[in-house]
Structure 1
């Protein structure tokens, strides 16, 4: 099974989202966040992620005769590279993109299910903008964005912090012929 298939599986994708805060977690903690995933399925998918080296077992604790594993995200293993996706067919790309957008839609629907929503207070928003950038300017933009992400990804969970999911999609918009500088 390739990396894309491992990551884009619906249950495994949900599990990986739980680890986006950079914290180590037991299966019990993951189950608390993913109440809709049956326990047997959760353990099976955790095992698949460990075998694929996407999750790493960082501790094993003896608890009443059983071993409780503590898992951490192997960040380099989940980062999709150009090599990971360049062999995909158009249909596979579309399938994965549709899955990605469906997951974003599901997360947004979960937010909307709250009784007291306030986009401004909750920091919720969605928009689409167009930037006219040369290839060099675009690479600078991506580097700047990466620096911002890295600055805040170091934050650990705390009472005064809310876990926020940031999703980005970037693609060129062909208007006639694209000019490369």
Structure 2
């Protein structure tokens, strides 16, 4: 799988729009995508679906005959992308960027779903984001990550003795590579 071709899928607005939709809906036919994304011309949609399938980012999960044509149902390919350990071992920058992009797409999907609800309460729903500069060496960064993991561990499962109104949130912590 060519990394440049894969990155194009995330940069191209039509391709990324289709990927985002498939991430939300899990599966869609071309007809469903056309209804949900009317701004993508039909010919462009079919060409894009073919390219995304060829690259291996999406896959056909079902086919059914509708009159004289075969209707395909598409989904994201869960096996898409290089192995994380291989990326780390090989110091594969393009693969690392691809993993980060997938991570960010997942977070963006959650924020988009939240923002599209009919009623939201940003102040009281427990949502937000921030960035804080920190100065650490490698050992301190590892220590910080371990302490944060220990701190959140009790909150990763629903408490049996807790109030009924516990809601699932996703907490994302990002340590960027160090500045030079």
TM-score normalised by structure 1 residue count = 0.54
Match of 1:32 in 2: 35
C-alpha distance in 2, partners of 1:72/1:57? 7
Deviation (angstroms), 1:5 = 2.7
Q: CA-atom RMSD, angstroms?
A: 4.6
* Conserved 8 A contact 1:31-1:39: yes
Deviation per CA, 1:10-31: give whole Å up to 9, x if none. Answer: 2211111112247221112222
3-state SS in 1 of match to 2:131: coil
Offset at 1:173? Answer: 4.9
Supply the distance in 2 between the matched residues of 1:126 and 1:30 (Cα, whole angstroms): 31
What's 1:171 paired with?
176
- The 8 Å contact of residues 4 and 85 in structure 1, kept in 2 or not, is answered as no
Mind listing any 5+ residue stretches in structure 2 that lack a counterpart?
158-168
TM superposition shift of 1:73: 0.8
CA distance in structure 1 between the aligned counterparts of 2:142 and 2:31, rounded to whole angstroms? 46
Deviation at 1:128, TM superposition (A): 2.0
CA contact (8 A) 1:26 1:69 kept: yes
User: How far apart are residue 54 of structure 1 and its match?
Assistant: 1.1
Equivalent position of 2:75 in the other structure:
72
Offset at residue 130 of structure 1 (A): 4.9
Does 2:26 match 1:19? no
Gaps of 5+ in 1: 152-163
Distance (whole Å) between structure 1 residues aligned to residue 142 and residue 129 of structure 2: 25
CA distance in 1, matches of 2:20, 2:118: 24
Structure of greater relative contact order (alpha carbons < 8 Å, 6+ residues apart):
1
For the 8 Å contact 1:53–1:74, the answer to whether it is kept is: yes
**Counterpart pick for 1:52 among 44, 52, 55:** 55
- Structure number with greater Rg is 2
Aligned length: 144
Q: 1:128 and 2:131 equivalent?
A: yes
